[in-house]
Structure 1
Amino acid sequence: MGTTIKDTIRKQGHDKNVPLYFPKIADIKAAASTIAKVAHVTPLQQSIRYSKKFNAEILLKREDLHRVRSYKIRGAFNKISSLTQEELKQGVVCASAGNHAQGVAFACNHLGVQGTIFMPVVTPKQKIDQTKMFGGDWVNVVLEGDTFDDSSKAAHLFCEAQNKTFVHPFDDPKTIEGQATVGLEIMNQSEVQIDYVFVAVGGGGLASGLCATFKELSPKTKIIGIEPEGAPSMTKSIAAGQLVELPEIDKFIDGAAVQKVGGYTYSICKEHLHKMITVPEGKVCQTILELYNRDAIVVEPAGALTIAALDSFKEEIEGKNVVCIVSGSNNDITRTAEIKERALLYGNLKHYFIIRFPQRPGALKEFVADILGPDDDITHFEYSKKSSRENAPAVVGIELKSPEDLEPLMQRMKANNFFGDYLNDKPDLFQYLI
C-alpha cells in the first residue's frame, strides 16, 4: 500500500523539500492500541436536526468528549509513548494554541515525563489553566509570541538548546498516526457506507490521518478539509503547489489558525483530500451559538468548522451519509460576547453608524422614537458633546431583527438628517472605533 502511494506521488510530481510519507494502516492500528490506555472511544451520534435540515444522515464524531476535550490527546500520547527511555528521561517540548498542549500535558503526567509547553500569549485563559491542571508538576508552561507559529519558533530554539524531543502538534508521523485512529473508530461504529467526512484543518494532522485510514478501508469516502477564512494556509499551499507561509492570519479560530502547515501533512492532503474550502469566522460563530442553544453542545471555534461548512455542500450531500468531526470543546466563556458579535455582524443583524445628533434637548428621544424601528435595539453608544458645534457625532451600534430592516432604517436616518456614516463596510475605521 505505502509503495503504491509513494509511486503515485512521484509520478504526479513531488516537492523535494517535503518529506515523502504516508501512514500505514498497521501503524494506525498499533496507535489505537497505545491510545486505548488513556482515551476512550468517542461517540458517533446522529444529529436529528441537521439530518432533517440537509436531508442527509449527518453524524457527529464527538471528539470534544475526550477528558482533555479534543482529539489531540491521540497524537500527543502516541508520539510520547514511542520515545526511547533516554528521550523520555531528557524531557519533551511542544508548541500549541491550546488543545495539543493539554494532550501533551496529560501524557507527561501519565507517563512521568518532564515537559515544557510553549503557548501564544493570546491563548484563552481556560486553555492555559487546563494545560497546567493536566500537567501538574510535570509541565512548565511558557507564554511566547502572538501566534502558534511564534510559539513554535521559540519552542524549537529551546528544544535544540536543551537537547529535548519536540512533540509536534501535527507534522510528525506518530502524531498523524495517532490522529488517524479517529477514522478507525468511525469505520467500526458506522453501520453504513460513509460518503463524506468533514474535518477541520489547522496544521493538517487529523486530515492527513483520516486520508490514510479511509483510503485503505473506505476509498470511496470523500474527505473534505475546512479552514477558517482568515487562516487559509492549507488552501493557499495546495493552490500554489507548494508550502506557503501566510504573512498574517486571523487568530480568532485559534485551534485552526496556523501560518504554515506541515510538510508531511501538505504532501498527504494535496493528494488525498477531495476538496479544501474556507468558512467565514462569522459563520462559525453562528454555528457555535446554534449548537449551544439548540443542541446543548459546547464547542470551541475550531470544533464548529465542520458543521459550519455543511451549507456549502447542501446539494452535494443530499441523501448521503456524512460525518462531521467535532474536534474540541475548549471554549472560554469570556469569548461569548465576541462570538455573538461576530455572528450578528456576519448575519447582517448588527450595524454600526456615526450618527449626527443635533445639540438640543430631546434629540436622542427623537432618534429612538422616530428613527429606530419597533424591533431595533441600541447595543452600543459613544457620544461626546461639542458645545461649539451644531451637530455632534456618536458611534451607535444597532441590532436588527431582520437584515431587511437595514435599508428602511438608513432611509429614516437620512430623511431626518441623523445619518453620518455607515461603518460596517469600512474595516479600518470600524476596527479603530469599535
Structure 2
Amino acid sequence: MHSDYLERILNARVYDVAQETPLEFAPNLSARLNNQLLLKREDMQSVFSFKLRGAYNKMAQLPPEQLAVGVIAASAGNHAQGVALGASRLGTRAIIVMPVTTPQVKVDAVRSRGGEVVLHGETFDDAYGYARQLEAEKGLTFIHPFDDPDVIAGQGTIGMEILRQYQKPIHAIFVAIGGGGLIAGIAAYVKRLRPEIKIIGVEPVDANAMYQSLHAGERVRLSQVGLFADGVAVRQVGEETFRVCQEYLDDVILVGTDDTCAAIKDVFEDTRSILEPAGALAIAGAKAYVEREQIQDETLVAVACGANMNFDRLRFVAERAELGERREAIFAVTIPEEPGSLRKFCDTMGTRNLTEFNYRIADRQVAHIFVGMQIQNRADAVQMVETFEAHGFETVDLTDDELTKLHLRHMVGGHSPLAHHELLYRFEFPERPGALMKFVNSMSRNWNISLFHYRNNGSDYGRIVVGMQVPPAEMDEWQKFLDTLGYRYWDENDNPAYQLFLG
C-alpha cells in the first residue's frame, strides 16, 4: 500500500493547482521567542489552505476511466474546497457531502468551485457514512481527507519545499494534526533527508486523538472533540497516518483555546493575515515548546496551514488572545463597603492598565469587585494577589476559570435594594493610562459608587457606566462635578434597560 514516500512525494502532481508558498521570517514573534521563527504560508493557497495539494494529487493519479465517473468526498471545510477545485481542473464531477450544520460560507465556497453539495447528517461521521454509501451506489471514487498514501504524498510536498527554501540547520518543524495527513507527509519526506530535524505535532487539548493514540500504542477513538479549531476536530486519526507518525514524530504538544487565539494575534501582527484556529495551532505549539525547553537562537518552522476563518469568531479570538498571552489577569477582590475604600483599592493597583472593572452594590458590609488588568506574565499576577492580600483585600484569581471568561464577566450586576438615590450615567474618556483613576479620584468623598462597569475595547475612548448614590440635596454639586470633569457623559436614568435589569 505504501511504497516509498520519498518517491511518491517527488512525483506528486500538485503544482497544476497549488503554488509553492513562501517561507517567511516572523520578526516580532522571533524577537519575543529569542529564536528564528519561519512561517510556511499555506494560508496563501487559492483555497486558503494546504488541502488542495493532497486532494489534487490523489485525483491526478486516478486512471482515466475512474476520473470519467467522478469523485466524492465528505468534508465540512478545507478538504471540500480542495476536491472541488481539483475536480474542476481535471474536468470531472465532484460530489461533496457536508453536515447540515456546515456554515453557509463554506457551502457557497464549494459550489463556487464547481462542487455538487449534498447536505446530510449532523456530524462529520454522518456525512462520511453517507458519502461511502453514495460511492458504492454510483461507482464514484472516494477522496479521503487524510488516510491515503497519495493524499499524504501531496501534503508531503510542503516538507520538500521547506528543505529547498531553507538549507541551513532547522531545529524543529511544527505541524497541526487533525487526521494526520499533513504531518505524515512532511515527516516522511523530512526524516528521510534530514533526520536530525525534529517533527513536532500540535493538537488542541480537547481534540488530541493523535497524542492519545501514540501514548496508547494504537488508534484511540475520542468520544467527543472540541470544535473551536474545527479544521482539526477529528475523533480518530487515520490508519496509515498513525503508522507514519509512530515511526517519525518526535513529540506532540497540546495547546488550549486561549493559546491558539494568542497565536492568531501574533501572526496577524507579523503578517497582517488572519489564520483560522487550526491554521494557527503550529505557531501556538512552537511558542509552548520554546517555553518548555528554554531554547534560544535556534531556527523553528511553523506551518500556517489555513485561513478559512468565520468573521464572527474574531470577537471571541480578540477577547481571549490577551489571556492566552498571559497579558491579562482577572481577579475577584473583596473590599469593605465604606467611603474611601474604593480609592484605597485603586491606589493598591498603582499605575497598572485596567482592562475591566465591574461592581454592583449588594451587601452593607463588603463589596465584591471584578477586575481585569494587564500583566507582564503569570508571576506578575501572583504578585498582584499578594499585594491585594497584604492590604487586607481578600482576592481570588479567576484568570483560568472558563465560567468567568465566557459568562460571568458579562453578568456581574442586578437589582439592588441598597441602591438608594442612585443616578446612572455613561461616560466616555480618552483611553490612556491613569484616565480611569482620574475619574475615580475626582468624585466627592460623600457619594457612594453603587455600580461600575468598564471594559477596555481597544479603541481610543474608554467607556464606563457608573451608578452613584447622590442625596437629592446635593444635585447641584453633582451637576457641577459633571460640568468640570471634562469628559462626555450621558444621563441614563430613564433608560428602559436600566429600569428593567438594574434600577
TM-score tier after normalising by the smaller chain length:
0.7 to 0.9
**Offset at 1:329?**
1.4
- The amino acid that maps onto 2:147 is D
Name the counterpart of 2:83: 104
Name the counterpart of 2:490: none
- The amino acid that maps onto 1:26 is E
- The amino acid that maps onto 2:236 is K
The alignment status of 1:164 with 2:164, answered yes or no, reads no
2: CA distance, partners of 1:275 / 1:22 = 25
The alignment status of 1:349 with 2:322, answered yes or no, reads no
When the two chains are superposed, the root-mean-square deviation of aligned CA atoms in Å is 3.6
Name the counterpart of 2:45: 66
Name the counterpart of 1:401: 374
Contact (CA 8 Å) 1:378, 1:396: kept in 2 or not? no
Give secondary structure in 2 for the equivalent of 1:400. strand
1: CA distance, partners of 2:340 / 2:399 = 24
Give secondary structure in 2 for the equivalent of 1:117. strand
2: CA distance, partners of 1:121 / 1:294 = 36
Question: What do the CA deviations read for 1:210-235 (whole angstroms, capped 9, x no partner)?
Answer: 12111222222221111111111000
1: CA distance, partners of 2:16 / 2:121 = 32
1: CA distance, partners of 2:179 / 2:137 = 25
- The amino acid that maps onto 1:52 is A
Among 133, 139, 154, the alignment partner of 2:116 is: 139
- The amino acid that maps onto 1:220 is E
Question: What do the CA deviations read for 1:116-168 (whole angstroms, capped 9, x no partner)?
Answer: 223345545443332232x23x422526424x444323333333343322111
Among 228, 232, 242, the alignment partner of 2:208 is: 232
Among 17, 21, 26, the alignment partner of 2:2 is: 21
Give secondary structure in 2 for the equivalent of 1:309. helix
Name the counterpart of 2:25: 46
Contact (CA 8 Å) 2:28, 2:269: kept in 1 or not? no
Among 270, 279, 298, the alignment partner of 1:320 is: 298
**Offset at 1:40?**
1.7
The alignment status of 1:337 with 2:315, answered yes or no, reads yes
Give secondary structure in 1 for the equivalent of 2:68. helix
The alignment status of 1:91 with 2:64, answered yes or no, reads no
**Offset at 1:66?**
0.8
Name the counterpart of 1:17: none
Name the counterpart of 1:310: 286
Name the counterpart of 2:217: 241
The answer to which structure, 1 or 2, has the higher relative contact order (CA under 8 A, 6+ apart) is: 1
Residues 125 and 316 from structure 1, CA distance in 2 versus in 1: closer, same or farther, beyond 3 angstroms?
A: farther
Name the counterpart of 1:7: none
Q: Percent identity?
A: 34
2: CA distance, partners of 1:396 / 1:340 = 23
Give secondary structure in 1 for the equivalent of 2:195. coil
Contact (CA 8 Å) 2:286, 2:300: kept in 1 or not? no
- The amino acid that maps onto 1:203 is G
Question: What do the CA deviations read for 1:286-315 (whole angstroms, capped 9, x no partner)?
Answer: 111122134313211112111112233324
The alignment status of 1:288 with 2:264, answered yes or no, reads yes
2: CA distance, partners of 1:352 / 1:118 = 47
**Offset at 1:258?**
0.8
1: CA distance, partners of 2:57 / 2:298 = 33
2: CA distance, partners of 1:37 / 1:236 = 37
Mapping of 1:180-219 within 5 angstroms? Answer: 180-219=156-195
1: CA distance, partners of 2:357 / 2:91 = 51
Give secondary structure in 1 for the equivalent of 2:2. coil
Give aligned pairs, total: 396
Name the counterpart of 2:92: 113
Question: What do the CA deviations read for 1:197-219 (whole angstroms, capped 9, x no partner)?
Answer: 11111111011111211122222
2: CA distance, partners of 1:252 / 1:291 = 18
Contact (CA 8 Å) 1:149, 1:258: kept in 2 or not? no
Contact (CA 8 Å) 1:23, 1:212: kept in 2 or not? no
- The amino acid that maps onto 2:37 is I
The alignment status of 1:265 with 2:246, answered yes or no, reads no
Contact (CA 8 Å) 1:345, 1:351: kept in 2 or not? no
Name the counterpart of 2:127: 151
**Offset at 1:335?**
0.7
Contact (CA 8 Å) 2:356, 2:373: kept in 1 or not? no
2: CA distance, partners of 1:190 / 1:430 = 41
Which one has the bigger helix percentage? 1
Give secondary structure in 2 for the equivalent of 1:93. strand
Residues 76 and 397 from structure 1, CA distance in 2 versus in 1: closer, same or farther, beyond 3 angstroms?
A: farther
- The amino acid that maps onto 2:72 is V
- The amino acid that maps onto 2:16 is K
Question: What do the CA deviations read for 1:39-70 (whole angstroms, capped 9, x no partner)?
Answer: 22111122233333334332221111111111
2: CA distance, partners of 1:212 / 1:326 = 19
**Offset at 1:334?**
1.0
Contact (CA 8 Å) 1:200, 1:303: kept in 2 or not? yes
Give secondary structure in 1 for the equivalent of 2:374. coil
Give secondary structure in 1 for the equivalent of 2:47. coil
Unpaired stretches in structure 2, ≥5 consecutive residues:
411-503
**Offset at 1:102?**
1.1
Residues 270 and 426 from structure 1, CA distance in 2 versus in 1: closer, same or farther, beyond 3 angstroms?
A: same
Contact (CA 8 Å) 1:126, 1:330: kept in 2 or not? no
2: CA distance, partners of 1:319 / 1:169 = 36
2: CA distance, partners of 1:22 / 1:222 = 23
Residues 345 and 26 from structure 1, CA distance in 2 versus in 1: closer, same or farther, beyond 3 angstroms?
A: same
Contact (CA 8 Å) 2:72, 2:95: kept in 1 or not? yes
Q: Which is higher, the Rg of structure 1 or of structure 2?
A: 2
Name the counterpart of 2:275: 299
2: CA distance, partners of 1:221 / 1:425 = 34
Name the counterpart of 1:30: 11
2: CA distance, partners of 1:83 / 1:379 = 61
